[in-house]
Structure 1
Amino acid sequence: MIRWPEVFDEAYPMPGATDDVCEAFLEEIGQPLTAQELAEIRASQSNPFFETDPLYASWEPLDPVLWPLPQRPLPPAYLSLLQWSNGGEFRTGERWFQFFPTHDLRPILLSYCLPEYMPYALPFAFNGSGTFYLFDLRSPAVDGEYPIVCAHAGNLGWEPEACFALAGSFITLCQGTLEIDKLRHGSGGERGFPRSSAESQA
């Protein structure tokens, strides 16, 4: 059993999610988009180019109809955190977490068009500076865990220049003390892990 108050150096927890809330969250997150969600996504898009720009005529809006949504079981450690604190802000060393409450996670996933730019990535927190922490759900879990990556909200993608492998498990991520942007820019890993590894201590 993880003693979450002992994991973080600074904690501002929220009330924990009940079993019913967690169950509803897990059931909802991978459901097909509703008609309302499709309409909201389409309405939010507009041509970013001026009419005089050569790219104006060739711009096409994103089509969310076939967006793949994450449907794999989530790590028990992450669910344990939600049951202790459904959202909230936390710090370990230099590293900050702004965890999303369960009711906000799907709207965040869709509003940032993550299924378009990073298929099968599931965001679960911000670092306080516009960078997402995300589960990489492209492959089945290993011992209940998935690689965790980071990507800035303004530059989403699986390409190496956009996405950075951070940790191989949720608890490893939470125990890391380096601010993740330092790792992104090559400041070095902790505890002997290579910077490019999914076990890097960001």
Structure 2
Amino acid sequence: MNIEEFFELSPGKWFSHRTSHDLACKQSENGKSDTIIERLSSDHPEVVKLCQQYNVEHSPNCYGAKVTWNATMAGNEKKQTGSTVFVAIPDEDNPNEGKFLRAMDSPGKTPVVGRYKIGTDDALTFTTEYETVCYEERLWFASPNLRMRVSVVKRIDGFSTASFTSEIRMGGGQPTAKVSQATNSASS
């Protein structure tokens, strides 16, 4: 699988269930969300704007997605809603690796260009390092309609948070036959 196939397989409405564990406090937290993923073309205004925000040269070979969520955490009835835009820009010499941009969720925050890599196991790994935090997330498809995510947030003070999320496609975009075959062969 390559980055284009990964982005093609992702659109749709997903139900997500996440368990997070704060390693310092030895506490776990569960949550669920409805997530909608939309594929954005390389010339979509939000993709172009994000590249400009990061001072990264826009490429016609970039891949964009908009993610919108409506989430709740166990014990907290207040819904968490929001959306963000992601852009992956493959390296010219190795399209399985490249730059990863994410819309900033806080005004005034300095944009940080992350990296992505697709491994031989077809898992996509994003890594972003801020001044005090390193964030790594790994995503893979167990089948065309079942996606898994694990993430680790490591703080400079040594404390970490880990999470596992399973996502089930509930509708919306369906993968192309080519992408479905790539995913099915990876899960065999």
Q: Same fold (TM over 0.5)?
A: no
Question: Which protein is richer in strand relative to its size?
Answer: 2
Question: Which protein is richer in helix relative to its size?
Answer: 1
TM normalised by structure 1 equals: 0.34
Of structures 1 and 2, the larger Rg is shown by 1
